[in-house]
Amino acid sequence: MTTRTKFVLLTAILLSLAVLPACWTYSLHPLYEDDDQHLTYDPALEGTWQQTGNECQTCRLLITGDSKAQQYTLQLIELHDTKCNCGSRDVPEIKFEGHLVELGPHRFLDAVPKGAAAAMGTIAAHNIFKITAESDSLSLVALSDDWLCHAPEAEQARLGECMDGDFVFTATTEVLQDFVQIHAEDEGVFPSPGDDDEWHRAGKAGDSK
């Protein structure tokens, strides 16, 4: 399963599932500390976004934010009754809490399931993306589990563990920040964005029309 396909799976479960999907990368620790100087906030991320490579025109990624708390809420919404499977109506609403971390010239999004996810008995693992936002375009690129699972043993041991194709980061926040900053421009670690990684603005924050 490619990294691009896996991001589609993550967005598809923002409402319906908060369980860990197969073949992905997770971190047991956040990419930021409390009162971290690297935490930042960009109001340009707020809004309603549509995936560029998604033929379903009724699925939207809604991002709202709190500038004082320096955090975002991410939620996949479905505008009409369709067969696009944006989310399941049979489970509680699931939202992700996001924090924007700026390391050098690059920015990263740490997204973790919140709210109903805890009630469902799931693990609140952190998902880390390299993020780029320009005007009405947004790209979110996940870490490559394939690269991590084939990294030298010493590097894997320093960062975490590969289990059945999934890579789980157990490294500290400091080690994580150092790793993503060093490899931010390494296309093996953060592949070039494809259609499934890119979004365009579909409306204002809170606008579901």
Residue 208 lies in a domain: no
Query: Which residue range forms the structural domain that includes residue 170?
Result: 3-203
Q: Shortest CA distance to 173 belongs to which of 25, 31, 28?
A: 31
Largest CA distance in the chain: 51
pLDDT in tens, the chain (209 residues): 444 444 444 444 433 333 223 346 889 999 999 999 999 999 999 999 887 665 555 568 889 999 999 999 998 776 655 455 555 444 445 688 999 999 999 999 999 887 655 444 456 789 999 999 988 999 999 999 999 999 999 999 999 999 888 899 999 999 999 999 999 999 999 998 876 678 889 855 444 44
Residue 92 falls inside a structural domain: yes
> From residue 196, how far is each of 41, 63, 136, 183 by CA, in Å?
24, 17, 16, 21
Rg (CA), the chain: 16
Query: Total domain count for the chain?
Result: 1
Structure tokens at 187: 């296309």
Contacts of 102 (CB under 8 A, 6+ apart): 38, 39, 40, 108
Copy the structure tokens of residue 18.
């908060």
Q: How many residues does the chain have?
A: 209
Per-residue confidence (pLDDT) for residue 148, from 0 to 100: 95
The pTM is what? 0.79
3-class SS at 48?
A: strand
- In this structure, is residue 53 part of a structural domain? yes
pLDDT for position 85: 52
